[in-house]
């Protein structure tokens, strides 16, 4: 048959579908009989819409287009026709699942699909790259759901970076390991899911000479987990999950030396000016004088597992947890230093109340505890009042929120008005 014969047959089967990417012609007579043609459709970004498009026949008698008990789950995304006299008619699903011929057919089809993709990778690499964006969802789904297919696919699966260049998994690790190996001898593969929204983080990584992968498929949260298991001494980190120096740490960093009280005060004043609908973990770090005063990120672990939960990854408790953001305060930034100096001048230190003696009565201990709680509440109130009146603090916090698409409604309106006033004060007075 010629290529146009296969395409014409596909159009006859699916007149409203896009042109297929590739096809496989199946023909075997031992140890079972089977003929058929399978097509790789353009799956794009939805696993569900393309299912149940394989038509099953027995001696040219139509049986079903629901073949989930005959081929592995991921292969139900393919389109086409299979005809086999060795598949029994009108039997239960449990029988199909236990039938030896059905199992052999399933294994054979999986192998032929892997063979075909490997052949395209070796002999038609450019064609595979051109069609990869429409094919990768199928490949990733297969790798996540079928161990044998995964082992084969590790050779022909492609990774695409934000510059549009494609690599095999092995070649990509070799390409980046020189620059992107951290102090623990792990190769760190950076990735982005939204090139526009994460633009500043991507540029910060490129400025360091690092490469960034594009992982915008709906299965990628699961897929990077798989790659971390399959590729030795490698971990994946989304480019906006921390500062670039922390994502690929080359040496032990000198962090700010804050007492427990200073750390608590820092957390209170920044929590006071952040939106209340989320949870935040405020931490101090040294990012350099020229780096931003505040960096807002999400933990790679928590964000990834929340996304996996949303995809039905069996970890629903992660999906039920509120969004948690890391607020990294750059203590070396001059604006932060100015805020902390103002705080030291305007807010009295927390009142220190000695602990009650061990042999004191319960009434005395209760009184001391209540006094400590009252003093702590008063100090927290003073810090929140300071934060509410500090224009620099609110401005740099809102800038960080704006950079992450988190500034909305009244907060956004207030930020615009405050920014206009800053410009007016700088240029008109």
The pLDDT value given to residue 92: 56
pLDDT value at 145 more than 80: yes
Binned at pLDDT 50, 70 and 90, residue 51 comes out as: low
pTM (predicted TM-score): 0.83
Binned at pLDDT 50, 70 and 90, residue 425 comes out as: confident
Binned at pLDDT 50, 70 and 90, residue 234 comes out as: very high
Over its C-alpha atoms, the chain yields an Rg (Å, rounded) of: 30
Nearest to 324 by CA among 295, 302, 294: 302
């Amino acid at each position: 048959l010629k290529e146009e014969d296969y395409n014409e047959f596909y159009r006859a089967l699916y007149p409203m579908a896009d042109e297929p990417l590739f096809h496989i012609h199946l023909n075997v007579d031992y140890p079972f009989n089977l003929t058929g043609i399978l097509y790789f459709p353009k799956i794009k970004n939805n696993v569900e819409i393309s299912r149940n498009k394989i038509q099953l026949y027995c001696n040219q008698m139509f049986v079903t287009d629901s073949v989930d008990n005959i081929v592995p789950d991921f292969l139900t995304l393919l389109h086409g026709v299979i005809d086999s006299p060795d598949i029994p008619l009108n039997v239960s699903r449990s029988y199909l699942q236990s039938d030896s011929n059905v199992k052999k057919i399933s294994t054979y089809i999986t192998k032929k699909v892997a063979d075909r993709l490997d052949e395209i990778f070796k002999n038609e690499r450019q064609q595979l790259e051109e069609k990869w964006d429409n094919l990768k969802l199928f490949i990733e789904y297969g790798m996540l759901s079928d161990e044998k297919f995964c082992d084969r696919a590790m050779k022909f699966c492609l990774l695409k970076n934000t510059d549009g260049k494609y690599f095999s998994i092995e070649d990509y690790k070799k390409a980046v390991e020189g620059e992107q190996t951290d102090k623990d001898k792990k190769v760190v593969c950076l990735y982005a899911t939204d090139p526009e929204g994460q633009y500043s983080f991507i540029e910060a990584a490129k400025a360091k000479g690092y490469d960034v992968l594009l992982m915008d498929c709906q299965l990628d949260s699961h897929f990077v987990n798989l790659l971390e298991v399959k590729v030795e001494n490698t971990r994946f980190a989304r480019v906006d999950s921390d500062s670039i120096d922390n994502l690929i740490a080359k040496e032990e960093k000198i962090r700010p030396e804050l007492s427990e009280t200073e750390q608590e005060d820092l957390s209170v004043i920044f929590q006071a000016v952040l939106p209340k609908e989320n949870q935040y973990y405020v931490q101090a770090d040294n990012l350099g004088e020229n780096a931003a005063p505040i960096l807002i990120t999400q933990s790679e672990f928590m964000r990834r597992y929340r996304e996996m939960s949303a995809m039905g990854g069996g970890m629903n408790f992660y999906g039920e947890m509120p969004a948690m953001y890391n607020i990294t305060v750059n203590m070396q930034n001059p604006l932060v230093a100015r805020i902390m100096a103002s705080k030291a001048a305007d807010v009295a230190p927390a009142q220190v109340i000695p602990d009650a003696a061990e042999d004191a009565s319960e009434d005395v201990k209760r009184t001391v505890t209540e006094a400590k709680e009252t003093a702590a509440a008063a100090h927290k109130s003073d810090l929140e009042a300071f934060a509410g009146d500090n224009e620099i603090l609110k401005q740099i916090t809102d800038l960080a929120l704006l950079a992450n698409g988190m500034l909305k409604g009244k907060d956004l309106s207030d930020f615009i008005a405050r920014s206009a006033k800053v410009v007016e004060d700088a240029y008109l007075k």
